[in-house]
Amino acid sequence: VGETFDIGMEEIVTYSELMRIYAEEAGLPKRIILPVPVLTPRLSSYWIHLVTPVPAALARPLAEGLRNPVLCRDTRIRSLIPQDL
């Protein structure tokens, strides 16, 4: 194909909703999600590293991206992979 594609939804969904949807689809037990009033990307990256195999150096830019709302408008991938997301 030689192209890059954004993947996502055409509707606005919070990160906590995404985690809930994933847990449900993966057959995981329902989780309690607690909002944290102040959490910097640096602190978040350490937390992510503690609970996942992802290194803090990789988790930090990912955590920084959580600040920005993202809406996927590029739907070209659906012509190659027709799947409900």
Q: Could you read off the pLDDT of 74-84 as tens digits, one per residue?
A: 888 888 888 77
Residue 47, domain member (yes or no) = yes
Residue 10, domain member (yes or no) = no
85 band by pLDDT with thresholds 50, 70 and 90: low
The tally of domains found in the chain comes to 1
Residues 6 or more apart whose CB falls under 8 angstroms from that of 57 comprise: 45
Q: Half-sphere exposure of residue 45, counting CA atoms within 13 Å on the CB side?
A: 14
pLDDT digits (tens, 9 = 90+) for 12-22: 888 788 888 88
Q: Which residue range(s) make up the domain with 40? A: 15-80
Distance (Å, whole) CA 65 – CA 57: 14
pTM reported for the whole predicted model: 0.54
What pLDDT is recorded for position 56?
94
